[in-house]
Structure 1
């Protein structure tokens, strides 16, 4: 019996190759599991080739590690056949573990087929030596090698199936599993080798024509490592590419979600915006058409929000809107929709069991808004006006429903605010009138339809005229002379107030120049500034241009701004007022006592005059509180060195009381009504003659 021996280094190398081949197989199963389309077939074919070469290489290096007292060679066709069997067995294994499930019966059958394939590879490789006489195998060890092959196949298939998904620490687990699988494969090989007995006098029939040589082991090793390295590197790079692609896809999904959120929701409150609301209304209409039922659309406008926003600043106003949205949304059902469509306007879409249920919902919303809000350490009080439409009945589509709800809301406002109003067809006529008025307003400047009327101001002591306040009127072609309360709100909403305000300023300065040329050089002309006009970046330049255009001394112009406007952004107001003051323009705080005063800022404002609101003057004779307020305002103004003007004087008792208090000047219907420029001096002279007689 010929006694064989093993090269320890090649045995160790064969073990390393088996472990590397096992790890490559496990990694490739992960690629196959995540691949899609034609890439699955690519990874299956490439994986079968790499895994098959790895297993076969381990077997062949193991055979090269074995030496006998005689020289050995290996038949090329049989050696190639063993490689083909290894590749086919590997391909079958990869196909099996790529299936959606691996039941025990399939696992057992697959292990038998794969074990048979590995055993065939081994014993065909042994047959490639073409020993004469043939190799004598020990039945016990031969059977053990077959069992080890099947057992190793069971373990390999089960491990590969379990580790094919990317989970935390999967590479570390695959490494440990590869060691176990490599040892099992090597164990099968060397058990099969141990089963082989070579009788004395045996010789290798493949020595002359087969594979042989001292460098064969290194050639196989290098080739195998290259193949496995390429397979592993490709797998790793593809995995990284797939991971990066998945990250990019996730980022794109999130970006699309954010864009959808921005496109369909209000950025301040997070509520649905007008676009999403329109879609929800269309869905509600379709649902009613299919299933019956009702829904109500409520247009909600906040009363008193603008004064709060002007007084405390936009940041506080934004916080208040958030609190309103949070409170209203917190009392809705999941199927209802609350949307913010702009500014302080909200729309509520509510499903109803009966049309009359809308009244209870509306009353609840009004009550929720009327409760005090705690914002920026301030207790803020506002209210809401609601316009209600019910579908079916008050419109056919979402545009008509919204338009009718808006009309109903304006009706609620005109009825006193802090309430709700159901839509009625007659309300549309008022809405159309407002729309027509807005269209007419756009062309009023071009067609010179605006006029200035002038109300005289008088010295309180001697009742001598000391100037006038310019008051805007609109000479509408069909509706006649309109007062500002009919159109100023529309002008502010559209931004037309800027252009109208510049016209008023220029026209008042032009008229004042005429009066100065007529000898009234000690007069002052007063012009009111709207909140939007005061905040406009070009205000100071517009004032300077108007004064220069008409050669008007700056101190003959008084600009009146409301207390609320001056305090809305005190620091910014201070800068604008300071520039106007340095120019020499007089500054008057209008409607004093009605806004949110801050004496800290008031004493810093470069104002020359306080103007007492007509609301306090009107009830002086009946309301002791108003008398006390007026007395306090006069005392405050005198302490700050400001002129005091009282407007709205309509009775002799009011005139006497205000004069005794120390007001510097007065204006009102008792002393002189607003007149156009061509009648102003005539009426002053007429009144003077009447008083003289």
Structure 2
């Protein structure tokens, strides 16, 4: 029989020496603490890895995978949803599929609707190009923070793309009303290190239905709707339809008729007077393009994007320029002077074309029109599409002697930067600033500041979208000298505007004798839509 083993040498010393025993106990305790530290560190690393898998590192919001996972689990619990399979760890559904994911499923009430609201920044790429990527990151963080403040309750919000934020609406709230609220709050500028920056946003809504009953389809439908809103001019909300490829179908339907209309000159211009608020006299006109197809007006926000995607926008712009110069030549001959001016829009795609100034010069020469009679209206978006190319083109247009106007001032971001980058003759204030002008002191103070800025830069300032006499009275009191809008006249054919033009007898005077808009009937037309989608 083997005798039991005796104590080790260390244990024997501990029995014989109390100090040795205390040292060994202290060492053991340290080893236990170290093991605990290693365990805690491992758990923290695992938690951080899980967080990184579920969240956007820039904004701290849940990411696309986490949102899709939440949406999948919410649909599984929704009474009206018919999902193909429960959440599993598979290549089809994004991981993680656990109740500990970044977003948690809320209780779904019987009969409650379910929608996805997607917010897309319209101008983010241009802002990043102009201000740099660091400012772009700051802007995204600021947008995420504002969305968190705007959205009522604890609504699941996620960043699902570079400039897209998704919201799950499953409590019966109206997603469109919620989206409009978000878009309104997005109009206020963001304070960044580079200064005050404004960006527009568009929204798309997709609702749960027989043809949109899984997470990926709902999110894709919301994205398609948001892109449709951007194609229509941005800063608006669009609800998804059951046909996500509707833009493609619309293009196929309108592309050939639009091409024929452009080539044959069937796309016509309507002219809207811009009046002097000091005497209600006509100072110039804005030409707005309009097109009738199969007996009905097709809105510019519909056919202009089709023209852009079909490669027709350059031709359409040249056709509008040709019509403007033809009409100016006719008025010059009839009136015996060259004081009438007409403005026409220059889309972003054309403003970066280095050959555009040559076509403008040729058109002016062909019709013997003074360059100062032609007002070329450009938007902030046009300037930002390619800043260097746009600056080169506008510089050549200035050398020709044409008048350059910044249209829809205040609708985009970094407007003051644009006033430094390009030499302008006038700017047109976006129509939204006139909406509450007669009842909102804050709007009046803002417009007063814009007018002071225009005067200091030697620019003619035009207020757009004036609808009520009280708005016009406020503009006069603030010192605004020019305006346009339904209060004065709606766009119409050139032949209907002859009564507004300076009389031939005043041709020898420096500016002619203008007819007063305020003392005569307003111009009526069959269409109020224009070259720029209003």
Per-residue CA deviation, residues 162-213 of structure 1 (Å, 9 max, x unaligned), is: xxxxxxxxxxxxxxxxxxxxxxxxxxxxxxxxxxxxxxxxxxxxxxxxxxxx
Query: Among 340, 365, 377, which residue is 1:523 paired with?
Result: 340
Per-residue CA deviation, residues 79-128 of structure 1 (Å, 9 max, x unaligned), is: xxxxxxxxxxxxxxxxxxxxxxxxxxxxxxxxxxxxxxxxxxxxxxxxxx
Query: Among 494, 515, 519, which residue is 1:691 paired with?
Result: 519
Partner residue of 1:180?
Answer: none
Which 10-residue stretch deviates more, 449-458 or 532-541? Answer: 532-541
What SS does the corresponding residue of 2:297 show, helix, strand or coil? strand
Distance 2:256 2:389 in 1: 33
Per-residue CA deviation, residues 353-395 of structure 1 (Å, 9 max, x unaligned), is: xxx9xxxxxx9xxx9xx9x999996888676756769999559
Per-residue CA deviation, residues 481-527 of structure 1 (Å, 9 max, x unaligned), is: 23322322333344422211111111111111111111152111111
Partner residue of 2:391?
Answer: 574
Query: Among 675, 683, 687, which residue is 2:492 paired with?
Result: 675
Cα offset, 1:668, TM superposition: 1.9
Cα offset, 1:623, TM superposition: 1.4
Partner residue of 2:324?
Answer: 508
Partner residue of 1:304?
Answer: 121
Distance 2:486 2:210 in 1: 52
Partner residue of 2:272?
Answer: 455
Query: Among 627, 631, 635, which residue is 2:448 paired with?
Result: 631
Cα offset, 1:461, TM superposition: 1.8
- Are 1:301 and 1:344, in contact at CA under 8 Å, matched by a contact in 2? no
What SS does the corresponding residue of 2:290 show, helix, strand or coil? strand
- Are 1:564 and 1:597, in contact at CA under 8 Å, matched by a contact in 2? no
- Are 1:387 and 1:412, in contact at CA under 8 Å, matched by a contact in 2? no
- Are 1:593 and 1:633, in contact at CA under 8 Å, matched by a contact in 2? no
Partner residue of 2:306?
Answer: 490
Distance 2:431 2:384 in 1: 20
Cα offset, 1:627, TM superposition: 0.9
Distance 2:368 2:405 in 1: 22
TM-score, normalised via structure 1 length: 0.44
Cα offset, 1:625, TM superposition: 1.6
Partner residue of 1:465?
Answer: 282
Per-residue CA deviation, residues 271-326 of structure 1 (Å, 9 max, x unaligned), is: xxxxxxxxxxxxxxxx98xx999869x99976233x233345379589969x98xx
Partner residue of 1:313?
Answer: 129
Partner residue of 1:662?
Answer: 479
Partner residue of 1:647?
Answer: 464
Distance 1:660 1:303 in 2: 39
Q: 1:612 to 1:409 in 2, by over 3 A?
A: closer
Distance 2:236 2:488 in 1: 37
Distance 1:418 1:475 in 2: 24
What SS does the corresponding residue of 1:675 show, helix, strand or coil? coil
- Are 1:295 and 1:390, in contact at CA under 8 Å, matched by a contact in 2? no
Cα offset, 1:554, TM superposition: 0.5
Query: Among 360, 377, 382, which residue is 1:560 paired with?
Result: 377
Q: 1:651 to 1:381 in 2, by over 3 A?
A: closer
Distance 1:470 1:420 in 2: 28
Partner residue of 2:412?
Answer: 595
Alpha-carbon RMSD across the aligned residues, in angstroms, is: 5.5
Distance 2:256 2:224 in 1: 17
- Are 1:387 and 1:411, in contact at CA under 8 Å, matched by a contact in 2? no
1:346-365 correspondence runs (5 A): none
Distance 2:220 2:490 in 1: 40
Q: 1:412 to 1:683 in 2, by over 3 A?
A: closer
Partner residue of 1:612?
Answer: 429
Q: Which one has a larger percent helix, Structure 1 or Structure 2?
A: 1
Distance 2:225 2:381 in 1: 29
TM-score, normalised via structure 2 length: 0.56
Cα offset, 1:344, TM superposition: 7.5
Q: 1:599 to 1:319 in 2, by over 3 A?
A: closer
Distance 2:309 2:358 in 1: 23
Cα offset, 1:536, TM superposition: 1.9
What SS does the corresponding residue of 2:314 show, helix, strand or coil? helix
What SS does the corresponding residue of 1:313 show, helix, strand or coil? helix
- Are 2:128 and 2:136, in contact at CA under 8 Å, matched by a contact in 1? no
1:6-17 correspondence runs (5 A): none
Cα offset, 1:689, TM superposition: 9.3
- Are 1:385 and 1:412, in contact at CA under 8 Å, matched by a contact in 2? yes
Distance 1:516 1:596 in 2: 39
Partner residue of 1:442?
Answer: 259
Distance 1:429 1:388 in 2: 14
- Are 1:603 and 1:640, in contact at CA under 8 Å, matched by a contact in 2? no
Cα offset, 1:418, TM superposition: 9.5
- Are 1:310 and 1:565, in contact at CA under 8 Å, matched by a contact in 2? no
Distance 1:440 1:527 in 2: 23
Cα offset, 1:663, TM superposition: 2.7
What SS does the corresponding residue of 2:465 show, helix, strand or coil? coil
What SS does the corresponding residue of 1:620 show, helix, strand or coil? coil
Aligned length: 385
Per-residue CA deviation, residues 611-669 of structure 1 (Å, 9 max, x unaligned), is: 22221122211111211111111111111111222222222222233233333322222
Which consecutive unaligned segments of at least 5 residues does structure 1 have?
Answer: 1-286, 329-337, 348-355, 357-362
What SS does the corresponding residue of 2:462 show, helix, strand or coil? strand
Which consecutive unaligned segments of at least 5 residues does structure 2 have?
Answer: 1-83, 95-114, 145-158, 171-177, 504-513, 522-534
What SS does the corresponding residue of 2:358 show, helix, strand or coil? helix
The structure with higher relative contact order (CA 8 Å, sep 6+) is 2
